[in-house]
Amino acid sequence: MVVSSTRPPVVDSDLSVLASRPGREFAQVLRSVLRDVHFDQVNRDLRLPGYGGDYEIRPFPLPNSPVDRHEMKVRLRGAVKASRRSDEALLARRIQQAFAFFMCGESLTGDRLGELLGPESRARIDEGLELGLFVKAEGQTIRMNGLSLFSKKLRSGDVIHVFADTPTHFETRAARQRVYAGADSYELMARISTMSGISGCCVEMGSGSGVQLIAALKQYPAITRAIGTERDRRAQHVSLFNAALNGVDDRMTVVSDDDGLRQVLGGEPISFAMTNPPFIAMPAWLDIDPEDAAALSGLMDIRETEQGFQADLRSVFPEAGWGGPDGLDVTKEFLAALFPTLGLQTRVD
Query: What does the pLDDT read at residue 177?
Result: 82
For residues 121 and 114, give the distance between their C-alpha atoms in angstroms, rounded to a whole number: 5
Query: What does the pLDDT read at residue 331?
Result: 61
For residues 132 and 148, give the distance between their C-alpha atoms in angstroms, rounded to a whole number: 14
Flag whether pLDDT at 323 surpasses 60.
no
Q: Return the SS3 of 97.
A: helix
Mean pLDDT of the region 93-102: 97
CB 255 within 8 A of CB 38: no
CATH number at residue 274: 3.40.50.150
pLDDT above 90 as % of the chain: 60
CA 278 to chain centre: 16
Mean pLDDT of the region 89-108: 96
Residues facing 288 on adjacent strands: 309
Flag whether pLDDT at 280 surpasses 90.
no
Residues 75 and 207 reside in one and the same domain: no
Task: Evaluate whether residue 149 is within a structural domain.
Answer: no
Flag whether pLDDT at 255 surpasses 50.
yes
For residue 233, give the amino acid letter: R
Query: What does the pLDDT read at residue 30?
Result: 97
Task: Evaluate whether residue 165 is within a structural domain.
Answer: no
pLDDT in tens, 130-172: 999 999 998 899 999 999 999 999 999 999 999 999 998 898 9
Residues 118 and 192 reside in one and the same domain: no
| Residue 79 lies in domain | 16-144
Sheet-wide strand order for 200-205: 252-255, 223-229, 200-205, 270-275, 342-348
Which residues have a Cβ under 8 Å from the Cβ of 135 and sit 6 or more positions away? 9, 11, 129, 142, 143, 144, 145
Query: What does the pLDDT read at residue 328?
Result: 56
Residues 90 and 192 reside in one and the same domain: no
Task: Evaluate whether residue 150 is within a structural domain.
Answer: no
Query: What does the pLDDT read at residue 326?
Result: 63
Confidence of residue 3 (pLDDT cuts 50, 70, 90): very low
Confidence of residue 90 (pLDDT cuts 50, 70, 90): very high
Confidence of residue 9 (pLDDT cuts 50, 70, 90): very low
The neighbour count for residue 92, using CB atoms within 10 Å, is 20
Mean per-residue pLDDT over the chain, rounded:
86
Flag whether pLDDT at 41 surpasses 80.
yes
Query: What does the pLDDT read at residue 288?
Result: 74
Q: Which domain-ending residue is among 144, 162, 197?
A: 144
The neighbour count for residue 22, using CB atoms within 10 Å, is 12
Residues 205 and 275 reside in one and the same domain: yes
